[in-house]
Amino acid sequence: MSAQSDELAAFAPSKKTALGAAHSINPFTGMPSSAFAYLAARPESGGMSEEQGRMVSPEPSGGDGNASAPDGSAGGSAGSKVGASGGGRGQQGWDNTPVGRGGKTMCYARDEGAFAGLVNQGATCYLNSLLQALYLTPRFRLRFSAGTLQKLFARLAVSEKAALDTVELTTSFRWTTAEAFRQHDVQELLRVLFGVLELVKEPESEAGVVQALYGGTLRDSVVCLGCGHAAVRLDAFLDVSLYMDATIGSLEQALAAFVAPERLTGDNQYACSGCETKVDADKGLTFGDLPPVLSFQLKRFVYDWQANRRVKLNQKLTFPLVLDMAPYMADSGEAPMLYDAYAVLLHSGSAHSGHYFAFVKCPATGVWHEFNDASVRAIDDLETALEVAYGSDASTRSGSAYLLLYAKQGASGPVPAVPSELRALVAAEDAAWREEVANHLREVRTMRFTVVSGSQTVEVALDQGEPVAALKAAALDALHAGADGGRPADDDARLRAYTRFASGATMAGAPLDTEPEARLESLGLGHRATVVLETRAAGEKFATFDPDAFLVVALAVTHDNVAELVAQARMPVVDGMPRVWLKPTMDFDEAAAAVQSAVPSLEACGALAWYTVDGATLHAVHVRAAAHPGVPLVELGIRPGSVVYVEPATSSLFGTVYEAKVTSIVLEYNEPVAEDAKVSGPVAYTRSVSLSKHRTVGELKAKMAMALGVEASGFTIARSPTDEQLKDETLSLEAAHLFDGAPVFVRLGTPLAVGEYKVRLVLYDPLHPSGRALWPLRHAVVNASQPVADIQTAIKAVIDEHYPPTEKTLAAAPNATNKFRLKHLRLRTLAGPKRVGKVLFRKRSLRVQARVKDGMVLVVQPIAAPEELTPAHVVFFVQAVDAAAETAAGVLIASSRSEVVFKRAAKAVEVVHELAARLGLDAELAVAVAPAFSKLEPTAVRRLKWRRVAGLKESATLSGPPLNVTDGALVLVRDARVAFGDGAGPAAGPATGSRRKRGARGRTSGGASGLITVTVDRPRPKERPLQIFTEERSSSGA
């Protein structure tokens, strides 16, 4: 076979082996049984058997979690599963088990003649997709004979691995690990990579490779419609970006729009040198010279100025497999200019998360394949795959074409051969890889056993395919190596399962060698396990194992050892203690008899009391057994490995001592502080009290009251000076989170009942002449379960009591009951410092409307008359604006601020007209909405979003778009016919005849939309460009 024919095999998947064919799964290990079986036939592998060639189960190769959206935004996870043949991605994919130093990646061997995938380093799916497209561009490969890129192409051609890493390539780019996890655009990479390839021209024969393959020219012309004079300029290009919108549904339409001329008229007329005046003209682009390979970028990522965010256009855009470029040429004649599609780079996801993969056609066979990082599949159903690539608004995860590559018919060129030195390099890498895989497989197949025999312990390591008898023989050899008594025969030993319980008790379980020839992996013990080796004298029999029996540890309680047993109850010492075999079906009396026969000191005790300790909880087993006679042990809480504390039933020694020792806690508390005293700095907890943690908060207060000489109803307790007081006196100390050594803060005052809270009151008057809106008041006690209407009544009574009317107040309002002349009120929450929150509705309880706690702030707002607000209402402010009176200091607010209430669903147009009538405006109106509870500076008035009321839709509601009026918002109304004054800049109005500066984040509009001005001052944040560094220079997407 010729070298070229040999290389064609690298492009053409084998017919003998289905790409990604499924592997059978071992029922014991869950591993593919045929993976790496090829090593058995290779001398380098050491003659490994098929079973020894079994590899750990691979992780599926999916979309990278931090993949890039083409605009450089954060990535997400997605993948493609369309029209592809072969097995699942788990079989064709790679396993990310770290091997050796540096955390290398293990992967499958490539099927004969199959394509290799590329491992994703983190967020390098964009790099992988482009590299696969370049690799299957024969003329591109032909022009590069050296360097890291050509090494990668050689590995893709002849390496035995199913997936290759790109670390060497990215290291040559001088990318750090962080760069591998940074998101970039595939078109950005294309341009930067081409720039670097043009910079690096070693050898000289490679100079101009990119320009020769991808470089073309655009004819930029302006044609005078008067004299016909044409001004022409030629611009070079490597790729073409095509605009997309709702009117463009195909690549042909996008190209037609690209070359469609623009008519220059009006203020934008062209200064013709032939006519020597400004005239109408046509300005446009056409294609001049076309390269062998055309690259089209579909501009699916745009900035939505209305939503103020990036969006992706997932609309369907078809593209032909054979494209005729003649209609878009400057001078093509009648002959067609045909190009064949051979690579489609797709992006799935949104503008803020996604994943790149590619559909690429094999130049040797014409078969399309899907390259998805490490996964490669032949596409059986090309029509279905193309439907995915076209895109759809209905699905954002399946992917849509973003970059299209077309090759000129008849210009593909021969497939290059891999140089002999690169073949030798890849062969050496494959040999080292095979050895590493073999070592790894031997390691993952090794089972390591700790064998316990009496007081001896040995370590034994065997392959998981060895028989159980081999483990027993190896253990006997290790245990009796050099022993004087000699080694017991294999028949005089048996292996048993080993169990260690949480209590520390150990148990030899079922025999493991009943089938000596069974494989070790069939035992289901894992790759690190402990087993028991039991031996017998010659001629003796092994004890019969009862699989239903289980072991408990019985500890006899006496006056001499009770203190030690209680101290060790949470971590008992069980070594050398009596062990008793019980059955779960035994009742308490049968189990007690078994314990008495096993523990001589309990034989003459008669009835027994049993205790177990679960965590810190003491369980009296005998008490429950007496209440439920005949109940089996398992329902009494006795489990395998349980530690049972046993004493005569006439004694309650263990229970009494345990309760006193384990449940007793000591709490520290302070000398009481005054009710309203502020506490700053650390508190001195100089007193202490001891009692059981099962006692209640009320009992704790009673003991503290006796020590303090204060009635329990005269002070409150809390866990800290800033914490809420403990109100529920029926709670146990444990339930109240008062643990041993915890501090208790004591403050004089009347304790609150459960459901009562001490809140701070703040008076709110947004229309006060002083401009000040909030005044702090005293505390009040409220019941959070009551309706807000009842709380309003209680707060009104508190204000009347503590803030009586002054003489000045009575002179102005003789019927006033307080100095604020507050008669009716509305309650609100406080959303932040000096920021009023939502309205509390009268018919609902406080608890369901707010997060209630001691010290919370309730805002008291005086109102003129009683009201019944519901969630359907919105409360906001309104003012009139005199635009003509604008000066350098800002816009004149022509009226005082007033508060109004409307239904949220009210028609916006009707509400604005009603507000205008109240403000005395009857002309054509404009309206703007300032943020809730904001302090609007006069200079900021003109920068608001002013809308003509005539432009609002009749169906628009007050709280819906475009006004979106919320509680506390300020609605400004002005005469739309009056422009803003000249003191602070130009008059605001519809913009005409102007173009927005490129990169600016603002817009102007008018007419039916009702939008008068919009100004956004913040600059667009700079994005970090992709860079590839060479020894002397770097190329970037900046």
Q: What's the pLDDT at 53?
A: 33
Second-level CATH architecture of 550-662 = Roll (3.10)
- State what percent of residues in the chain have pLDDT above 70: 81
Distance CA(221)–CA(261), nearest Å, equals 9
Residue 836's Cβ-side half-sphere holds a number of Cα atoms within 13 Å equal to 29
d(CA 38, CA 40): 5
Q: HSE of 64 in the Cβ direction (CA atoms, 13 Å)? A: 30
Q: Are 298 and 401 in contact (CB under 8 A)?
A: yes
Residue 39's pLDDT is 33
pLDDT mean across residues, the chain? 79
Tens-digit pLDDT profile for residues 101-159 = 344 555 678 888 889 999 998 889 999 999 999 999 888 887 765 688 889 999 999 99
For the cut 80, the answer to whether the pLDDT of residue 740 exceeds it is yes
pLDDT of residue 605: 79
pLDDT the model gives residue 736 = 92
d(CA 549, CA 580) in angstroms, rounded, equals 10
Are 495 and 531 contacting, i.e. CB atoms less than 8 angstroms apart? yes
What is the pLDDT, as a whole number, of residue 881? 84
Task: Give the residue-averaged pLDDT of 186-199.
Answer: 84
Strands (E), 805-930: 824-832, 835-839, 857-863, 873-887, 890-893, 898-903, 925-930
Residue 305, pLDDT above cutoff 80? no
The C-alpha atoms of residue 8 and residue 2 are separated, in whole angstroms, by 10
Q: What element of type H or E holds 258?
A: helix 251-259
Count Cβ atoms below 10 Å from residue 785 Cβ, excluding itself: 14
Long-range pairs, 921-925, Cβ under 8 A, ≥24: 921/880, 921/973, 921/974, 921/975, 923/975, 923/976, 923/977, 924/948, 924/949, 924/950, 924/975, 924/976, 924/977, 925/949, 925/950, 925/973, 925/974, 925/975, 925/976
Tell me whether the omega of the peptide bond preceding residue 962 falls within 30 degrees of 0, making it cis: yes
CATH 3.10.20.90 residue ranges in the chain? Answer: 445-535, 550-662, 664-748, 874-1013
Q: Which tops the pLDDT comparison, 634 or 903? A: 903
pLDDT of residue 361: 94
Mean pLDDT value of segment 294-301: 92
Report DSSP letters for 490-540, one per residue: GGGEEEEEEEE-TTS-EEEEEES-SSTTSBGGGG---SEEEEEEEE--TT-
Domain range 445-535, its CATH number among 3.30.360.10, 1.10.1740.10, 3.40.50.2000, 3.10.20.90:
3.10.20.90
Give the position of tokens 């702030």.
857
pLDDT at 1009 over 50: no
**pLDDT tens for residues 928-944?**
998 876 667 777 787 88
Please give the residue that has the higher pLDDT: either 891 or 481: 481
946 forms bridges with which residues in the sheet? 1013
Closest C-alpha to 265, from 209, 319, 226:
226
How wide is the angle at C-alpha 443 spanned by C-alphas 439 and 445, nearest 5°? 115
Please tell me the predicted confidence (pLDDT) of residue 730.
Answer: 92
The burial of 78, by beta-carbon neighbours within 10 Å (0-12 exposed, 13-18 middle, 19 or more buried), is given as: buried
**pLDDT over 50 (residue 1017):** no
pTM, entire model = 0.55
Q: How confident is the model at residue 1004 (pLDDT cuts 50, 70, 90)?
A: very low
Question: Which band of pLDDT confidence, cut at 50, 70 and 90, is reported for residue 44?
Answer: very low
Provide the pLDDT for residue 893: 66
Indicate the fold that domain 211-408 takes in CATH: Cathepsin B; Chain A (3.90.70)
Complete edge-to-edge strand list for the sheet that includes strand 664-669: 687-692, 664-669, 743-748, 715-718
998: how many CB neighbours lie within 10 A of its CB? 5
Check whether 891 has a pLDDT greater than 80: no
Using a pLDDT cut of 90, give the percent of the chain over it. Answer: 36
Q: What is the pLDDT of residues 3-39, one digit of tens each?
A: 333 333 344 433 322 222 233 333 222 333 333 332 3
Q: Which residues contact 23 (CB under 8 A, 6 or more apart)?
A: 32, 33, 34, 35, 87, 91
Handedness of CA 297, 298, 301, 307 (dihedral sign): positive
Question: How confident is the model over 361-414, as pLDDT tens digits?
Answer: 998 889 999 999 989 999 999 999 999 999 887 766 678 899 999 999 987 777
Q: Which fold has domain 874-1013?
A: Ubiquitin-like (UB roll) (3.10.20)
What DSSP line would sit under 734-787, residue for residue?
TTTT--TT-EEEEEESPPPPTTEEEEEEEEE-TT-TTS--EEEEEEEEEETTSB
Tokens 């992780």 — which residue? Answer: 59
Portions of the chain given CATH number 3.90.70.10 = 211-408
pLDDT the model gives residue 769: 65
Is residue 163 exposed (0-12), middle (13-18) or buried (19+ Cβ within 10 Å)? buried
Q: Bigger pLDDT: 27 or 579?
A: 579
Report the pLDDT value the prediction gives residue 65, as an integer from 0 to 100.
39
Helix axes 125-135, 186-199, angle to 10 degrees: 60
Question: Residue 925's beta-bridge partner residues?
Answer: 975
- The pLDDT-based confidence of 200 (bands split at 50, 70, 90) is low
* Fold entry, domain 775-863: Ubiquitin-like (UB roll) (3.10.20)
Average pLDDT on 864-870 reads 90
The reported pLDDT for the residue numbered 920 is 83
Q: Residue 969 is encoded by which pair of tokens?
A: 């918002």
Of the candidate ranges 113-117, 217-221, 678-682, 985-989, the one whose mean pLDDT is the lowest? 985-989
The stretch 209-221 carries a mean pLDDT of: 89
Contact predicate 519/467, CB 8 Å = yes
Residue 319: its pLDDT value, please?
95
Is the pLDDT higher at 32 or at 667? 667
pLDDT, tens only, 483-517:
777 888 888 899 999 988 877 778 888 899 889 99
When comparing pLDDT for 1008 and 870, which is higher?
870
Cis, peptide link before residue 632, omega less than 30° from 0 = no
Question: Residue 999: its pLDDT value, please?
Answer: 37
How far is the C-alpha of 394 from the C-alpha of 829, rounded, in Å? Answer: 43
Question: pLDDT tier at 660 (50, 70, 90 boundaries)?
Answer: confident
CATH assignment of 664-748?
Answer: 3.10.20.90
Q: With the C-alpha atoms ordered 246, 249, 255, 260, is the resulting torsion angle positive or negative?
A: negative
Which pLDDT does position 404 carry in this prediction?
95
Residue 945 CA to residue 306 CA, distance in Å, equals 12
* Predicted confidence (pLDDT) at residue 431 exceeds the cutoff of 80: yes
